[in-house]
Amino acid sequence: MQFSRIRRKRLDRSHGFQSALADFLAQGRRKVPCERQGEDPTPFEEESFRASGRVSIERFARKLEGPVFEKYSPELPELLPVYPLTKGIAQSDVRRAVSAAMECCDQITEFLPRELIERYSLMGLTEAVKNVHRPFDTKTLEAARRRLAFDELLVYQLGARTVREGSRSLGAPAFTLRNSGAAGFFRSLPFKLTGAQERCVKELFSDLGRDVPMSRLLQGDVGSGKTAVAAACAYLCVKNGYQCAVMAPTEILASQHRKTFETLLSPYGINTALITGSGSAAARREERQAVADGSAQVAVGTHALLGEGVSFDKLGLVITDEQHRFGVMQRARLTEKGKSPHVLVMSATPIPRTLALILYGDLDISVIDELPPGREPVETLLVGEKYRRRLWNFVRKTVEQGNQVYIICPLVEDSETCDLKSVQSHGRRLRDEVFPDLKVGLLHGRMKQSDKDAVMGGFAEGSIQVLVSTTVIEVGVDVPNATLMIVENADRYGLSQLHQLRGRVGRGKAKSYCVLISDADSEISKQRLQVMCETSDGFKIAETDLRLRGPGDFIGQRQHGEFGFAVADLAADMGLLETTKEAASEIIGKGLFTSPEYKPLADMVTGKFGVSGHEQILN
């Protein structure tokens, strides 16, 4: 028989045969018997093949998923690139296209100065591009990847510093406390500010009182009172004759912020508008007109605030919530709607200060590291599968008491490669079999935004009693009635992410619980999850996760959207990130951008981050 006649069906079903075949072919040799009708079998004719594909473990055997076989020849490269594909396009198609494009590699212009290349032992750009697609070996591949990652990180660091230094050279409105009535505003709050909130307010008011645009990151745990601090800044801004824009990542969160700001500011004659992509055309026009003519002094909205149809009469302060959802350039687009407005960005993700200083080099940092008094900490428990029946009884008891429940799953749908809970499968079973008498809702990121808003809105209103969801609820609307959070396969999450999820409960007066379900055998996993049971301090948790897992949990996949890296891996390239930060500081500090040898690099930063900040540095 010839190899090509082996049936695919048989290959898929027989894992033992497939793993043995994969192992045999991976060694590069296969003896094929040649059978001819009416003749005795001839001796084995030796041929060589190479198999490639993703290796997985299934039923205690190695399996090659979607294997590709090709006749072996010495000319075949040792390593093959794997490119992202779309429907109708095969790896071979992309590889041929890339091979054709590689013929033009010699036209690539080096943009790093020779002194940087030599100082940091970098591969040349043309050589790096060639070797990242056609590496001779893994060592060469890593050297090529390091050069391209260095480029991305350096340009980012320079761009962030450029935006910051450029904005500082511009004049900004200096807000004065004189005759603002700020003392009365703080006295009228329905709560007393914590010491940490008061410290952050002083830092922010100090920045707002200068004629240099503020660029500050306000960090704090969920429930620490960041919104109250932001509302105080908005109050000071409006009392000085300017408008404030507040941008949130979702319509639900924007609506929640609009309600909070309206409650705190309306007693002082401050009007708040809501700018989103939904609602009737007439309502959207009315809200936008109020912002444009200045009758609405605070505009709260989503990305819709960035649209060309939104203009401000006199924008003086920009506030963005959940910093990791917005990038440097999105903040810049919003600030362009005013004349050098102050900028405040907020994040409920606790990030160790050393890491935050590297990631957000364009921002000063304020931290609310204290929770309001009287807020009862969420009791956190770590259990295994054997507690499942008792846990479902606890869910039912929680709902009977008039409260609501979150159940978090790591997957949207079941996977063939791992045995993890999914929203679609696990959630439907809970809805149809376990809790048929309860109102169970399902939520995940693949749903349409309108459907997600409807489900989350139903949970907020109480019409949904149990919400089975992925981590899309990590940043969501306040539901004080939610008192129980259950996290399936808890060992699959980083501690900071678990802490964020836990922050969704304990928002009301009732005692709240977070139950982590895991049967992981790893001692590190057990140690990590036990930390969640021992402390509710987000920054202690963040430091522990940084020590045990490295920076990946803080700057994982979701963060890459903000930074826009194609090659650099922030979790793996922390050393390179620190190196490029130092290089960027030296380049800007010594004014090297003005030298001819740095002009190609300066042009690269200009192309990535825009012209205005770059021109400020060069001039």
pLDDT (tens digit per residue) in 425-467: 999 999 999 999 999 999 998 888 788 888 988 998 999 999 9
pLDDT 10s digits, 63-117: 777 777 777 777 777 777 888 888 888 888 888 899 889 888 888 999 999 999 9
pLDDT at 509: 81
Does the pTM surpass 0.95? The reply is: no
Strand partners, 63: 56
Residue 271: what pLDDT?
Answer: 96
Regions of the chain short of the pLDDT cut 70: 1-45, 57-60, 164, 166-170, 322-331, 352-362, 374, 417, 474-477, 546-564, 570-571, 610-619
The full DSSP string for 520-542 is ---HHHHHHHHHHHH---HHHHH
DSSP letter at 3? G
Predicted pLDDT of residue 362: 63
Burial string for 70-109 (b: 16+ CB within 10 Å, else e) reads: eebeeeeeeeeeeeeeeeeeeeeebbeeeeeeeeeeeeee
DSSP state of 312: -
- State the sign of the Cα–Cα–Cα–Cα dihedral 280, 285, 291, 294: negative
pLDDT of residue 495: 84
Return the pLDDT at 497: 83
Q: Are 215 and 167 in contact (CB under 8 A)?
A: yes
* pLDDT value of position 330: 64
- Please state, in angstroms and as integers, the Cα–Cα distance from residue 189 to each residue in 302, 320, 366, following that order: 26, 22, 21
DSSP state of 448: -
Distance CA(453)–CA(496), nearest Å, equals 25
Residues 6 or more apart whose Cβ sits within 8 Å of residue 186: 193, 232
The per-residue pLDDT for 62 is 77
